[in-house]
Amino acid sequence: MENIEIQVWTANEKLNRWKELVDIWLNFRRYEPLSSGIMDLEDAETREYAGYAFRDMLGYDSTPCVVAWDTLNNKAAGFVFSITQYSPEATPFELQSRCLRSFDKYPFGEGVLEKLSGVATFLHELFNKADVFSKLSVDKVFMIHVTSVLQEYTRRGLANEMTKKVLEVAKEAGFEYAVSESTSSYTQHNKIKRFGFEKIFEIDFESNYANYDMMPQSLKETHKSAAVLVKRL
């Protein structure tokens, strides 16, 4: 990966430099199966509000953010956003009132908040039904939430290199398990085959996702379900 450096940004660094990552986040929202088609990211105001919501996500907790940095062009090419996910009983007091997806703080256009709520509801149902904490007998896991690479940097192995680094970060922090909610069939296959993740739960989009009719047909044909994947570190 010529001119690409895999970096680990601290809590302060990811918050102070969120604008350097926001285009990658918007790219994720445009092509990810759940998000694609539910808001107009060509609209400047919508992009602005979505960016602020991303900034809020980065500030949810102090988990480091792994970034693929293009040293030649001096810009971020991709990132992996993760948090520490606790069982309800073990959640620290300071996190109990925080919301990871705070889209309702911003005046999105008509109908957008309802659609975004559908995304949050689907992911909440996916994780809860997976019964992660009971199955793994732990009270916290390293949760990999978003892995995204700008279009011009795809097919260069950046996602794999960032995943390798984020698993190192999780292990060094003392986590027993890394968990990933994956809505991409390609990502599911890759994490299982390349990194040894195990699929412990899966639900299909058509029967469980409120915004299914808004998904582009091309994504419906290639992405049928979302899964919870786990890896012992």
In the chain, where the domains are located:
4-232
pLDDT over 70 at 215, yes or no: yes
Place of tokens 């509801």: 121
Give the model confidence (pLDDT) of 16-70 as tens digits.
999 999 999 999 988 898 988 888 888 899 999 999 999 999 999 999 999 999 9
Confidence of residue 1 (pLDDT cuts 50, 70, 90): low
The string of pLDDT tens digits covering residues 73-84 is 999 999 999 999
Rounded distance, CA 56 to CA 24, Å? 15
pLDDT, averaged across the chain: 94
Q: Which residue has the tokens 């990132």?
A: 79
- Compute the distance between CA of residue 6 and CA of residue 59 in angstroms, rounded to an integer: 21
Give the homologous superfamily in CATH for domain 4-232: Gcn5-related N-acetyltransferase (GNAT) (3.40.630.30)
Question: Cβ of 193: how many Cβ atoms within 10 Å?
Answer: 9
- Record the tokens describing residue 184, joined without a space: 């991409």
Segment 83-108, tens digit of pLDDT: 999 999 999 999 998 888 888 889 98
More confident site: 4 or 155: 4
pLDDT exceeding 70 applies to what percent of the chain? 100
